[in-house]
Amino acid sequence: MIQLCGMSSAALKDYMKQKGQSAFRGDQLAKWVVSGTPIEKMSNLPAALREEMRGEAVTNPVRVREIFESKLDGTRKFLFELPDGNLVEGVLMRYRHGCTLCLSTQVGCRMGCLFCASTLDGCVRDLSPGEMVGQVLLANEILAESGERVGNLVLMGSGEPLDNYDNTVTFLRLVTAPDGLNLSARSISLSTCGLVPMIDRFSGEGLPVTLSLSLHAPDDAIRRRIMPIAKRYSIRETLDALKRYIAVTGRRVIIEYILIGGLNCEPVHARRLAGLIRGMQCHVNLIPLNKVSERDLLPATDRQVDAFLEELDRSHISATKRREMGNDIQGACGQLRRGAIHGMEKQLRGEQS
């Protein structure tokens, strides 16, 4: 099935041309697609054309399976269903500067980081550009009720964006296109665990998004304990790739650091981290650990978090603690999808017994 929202405006015009339609029809189609309108409701296209299109295409291949809203802060978490029945998650957060959608780029993840529930069942498959755009369109549809739209994107849901490189880059070009969703690349953050060759490749794409590195350790020994990627690329190699990205794009990068009790959260670790990144054009985002029941990692205490932050401040490192949102709705990535999958498996076993 053709995914119209995964096509550029030029590609949509070509699609109309192949059907014997004028470029004007292509412009009409592109406007409908950006709004997420189903084919049958594209009222200014001929009925016969719409009927033909419905047999081979869909505006948005993604649908909302469930929505959970936090009673604490209004954060909404989506369980999105893909055409093949696979599930991914998205989180819609409201900030003073607007609405931010955290979206997924893969079904599951192959990176194996111990602190993340998304990777527990491995990577099932990559998402297509249309499946990524579709998540944004559905969030916009819901926000339209209050006269809002998604203004910022965070590629930090399930999956490693740079492991699905071509589709992720196509997605970024679609959502930043002036005749597409017209989002600023500077309002988009892409999180990576540190695929060094892909970081270097991405720096040449002309997409000045904010690159976020999941570092989570001040030395290679600790990082190898929680992140398999650290066995392939050292911290020094990874930070050197970030520096090259900064040099090419002029963009400040974000260093993500999950604080794990008994592992990486003491002032000595903060001093080592400061020594690694001193002089870099970066900001440290300290992240409280979301407990994953299948792992034995424990979150740092509030006292340890505050002491870590104070130590970075004394070292003149720009740093903040990430605001926790959606804690009452399984806000951590991968928890909701995994719960839904295992719930369905239990139900199926019950029906078969």
Task: Determine the 3-state secondary structure of 292 from DSSP.
Answer: coil
Q: What is the CATH number of the domain that holds 209?
A: 3.20.20.70
| pLDDT digit string, tens, across residues 7-25 | 999 999 999 999 999 989 9
- Residue 349's pLDDT is 46
Distances from the Cα of 209 to the Cα of 78, 317, 348, angstroms: 24, 22, 43
Domain match, 246 and 148 both: yes
Same domain, 30 and 128: no
pLDDT at 314: 97
91: alpha, beta or left, given left = phi > 0 and alpha = psi -120 to 50?
beta
Give the list of residues 6+ apart from residue 275 with CB closer than 8 angstroms, or none: none
What integer pLDDT is reported at residue 104 of this predicted model?
A: 98
Question: Do 80 and 162 belong together in one domain?
Answer: yes
Same domain, 111 and 179: yes
Mark whether 37 and 149 lie in a shared domain.
no
Residue 65 backbone dihedrals phi, psi, to 5 degrees: -80, -45
Q: 54 with 173, same domain?
A: no
The pairing of strands 188-192 and 210-214 is: parallel
Whether 147 and 29 share a structural domain: no
pLDDT, position 339: 63
- Same domain as 262, residue 184: yes
Q: Which residue among 10, 39, 58 closes a domain? A: 58
- Residues ≥6 apart with Cβ < 8 Å to 214: 113, 191, 192, 193, 194, 227, 256, 258
pLDDT at 334: 57
Tokens of 62: 């993604």
Interstrand relation of 87-95 and 63-69 (parallel, antiparallel or unpaired)? unpaired
Q: Are residues 101 and 7 in the same domain?
A: no
Q: Domain ends where: 58, 78, 105? A: 58
Residues with catalytic annotation?
89, 333
Kindly state the tokens that stand for 279.
């002089």
Q: Verify that 154 and 8 share a domain, yes or no.
A: no
**Residue 128 DSSP label:** P
Q: Could you say which of 58, 87, 102 is where a domain stops?
A: 58
pLDDT of residue 74: 84
DSSP for 184-214 reads -GGGEEEEES--HHHHHHHTTSS--PEEEEE
Q: Which residues of the chain have pLDDT under 70?
A: 324-353
- Output the pLDDT for position 341: 65
Coarse DSSP helix, strand, coil percentages of the chain, rounded to the nearest 5 percent: 45, 20, 35
Question: Which DSSP string corresponds to 69-98?
Answer: E-TTT--EEEEEE-TTS-EEEEEEEEETTE
Residues 6+ apart with CB under 8 A from 66: 78, 79, 340
The CATH number of the domain holding residue 18 is: 1.10.150.530
User: Are 243 and 123 members of one domain?
Assistant: yes
Nearest alpha-carbon partner for 17 in 7, 3, 27, 6: 27
Q: Rounded to the nearest 5 degrees, what angle is found at the Cα of 50, between the Cα atoms of 45 and 53?
A: 130
Answer yes or no: are the C-beta atoms of 260 and 222 closer than 8 Å. no
Q: Do residues 176 and 182 touch, judged by C-beta distance below 8 A?
A: yes
Write down the pLDDT at residue 347: 47
Q: Quote the number of domains for the chain.
A: 2
Alpha carbons 107 and 94: distance in angstroms, whole number: 25
Same domain, 133 and 44: no
At 348 the pLDDT is 40
Range of the domain at 164: 63-349
